[in-house]
Structure 1
C-alpha cells in the first residue's frame, strides 16, 4: 500500500507532467483557455481514477458539472495528446454504447517512476 507521502508525490508529479505536457507542447489550434481546462481535467480524472470511478462521459459530466460538449471538447484533446486512451463499452443500462477512458500507460508509468 502506498504511503500518504507517496500519494502526495504522485499528485505533484501528475501536476508537473500535465503542465509540461500541455503548456510546453501546445497544439496548433488550441487556446490558452483550452490548455488550462485540460490541466484541470487531468487532475479531476486522476482523482476519479484513484477513487476507482469509471471514466465515462456521464460520470465526468456528473462530477464536474460541465456541459456534455464542454467535457467532450476537453477529453478529445487529451485523447489526441495521448494522455487518455478511449474505448467503447456498454452504457449503464447495458443496452447502448458508451465512451470510456483510461489514463494512458505512459502517464501512469511516469507517475510510478516518481
Structure 2
C-alpha cells in the first residue's frame, strides 16, 4: 500500500517536459524530420508523456519524457554527423581536384 502511495506523490515532471520539448525543437532546427527514425520515436514518446501528464500519471510521464529527450538528442547527433560527413567528403573531393591540377601543372 505504501508503494502505491509513493507513486501517487510523484511530482509533475514539468522541468523534464520543458527540456524534452526543447530537445525536440532543437533536433528539428538542426534538420531532423519525420524521416529520421529517432525523431519519430522522440515525438511519439513526447506525445505519450503529454498524455500521461494529462492523466496525472507523473511517473510514466517522466519516463517517456526522458526517453523522448534522449531520442531527440540522438536524432540531432545523427543529423549533425551526416552533415559533417558530407562536408568532409566535399573537402576530400576538392583536395583530390587540387592535387590533380597541381600534378598537371608540374
TM-score by length of 2: 0.29
TM-score by length of 1: 0.27
In proportion to residue count, which structure has more helix? Answer: 2
In proportion to residue count, which structure has more strand? Answer: 1
- Give the number of the structure with larger relative contact order, counting CA–CA contacts within 8 Å between residues 6 or more apart: 2
Q: Which has the larger radius of gyration?
A: 2
